[in-house]
A and B are shown apart, each in its own frame.
Chain A
Amino acid sequence: MPVAGLTITLAADEALASNAITEMSSQHEIVLGRVDGRYMAAVMDTPSPSRSRDLHGWIESLAGVDYLDVVYVGFDPDPPDAPAPQPPISSTLPSP
């Protein structure tokens, strides 16, 4: 469902950064892009918001990643497995 464009700030330690790149490249939901200095472009394409969140957390937890920023999110108009949002307040409003 979500498609996210990421910029990943790699650790100053080149060995750690290299390990992080290797680990990320093993995930089929992540496509790695250009690296300029310590910044790497990547795209995360996942089947659900929860998987997207888990993967996001996993990238952030890698020793070779200093920081993760999201710069783009594409919305699928008909997500196959997204739960319908629940209104937080069950109000006295009439049904549409």
Chain B
Amino acid sequence: MRAYQKILSEIRSLGGELLAISPQTPDKSQATLLKNFLQYEVLSDVGNVVARQFGLVYPVAAEMRRIYLGFGVDLAEYNGDASWELPLPGTFIVDRSMTVRLSFVDADYTKRLEPAAILDTLRTLGGRAEA
């Protein structure tokens, strides 16, 4: 989340707007925003409705639930639903015609998209926002 904050001004100067989406309730999203000094939209997708449309939702395995609970993380409470489903971390760039221009999803949580790849895609789209 902080990595995106660092390139936020570059994203904007290339005509991009950053939206972060998680299944957490707006209250929890607000906490995330404040704790990390984020200056972009943090949206609340309770029930993973939008994440499902992007094909990202998976059920948390029973043995992983025990680990989350062991760390005091009750996803049912954080997410406001009892499904214990989560989205895979993923980043998409959608152009003005609603077409996906970059799609990065990895089931391996240790791999994240290089922020530079986002800027490269925005540059190739070339669509500078009208100032």
Q: Do A and B bind each other?
A: no
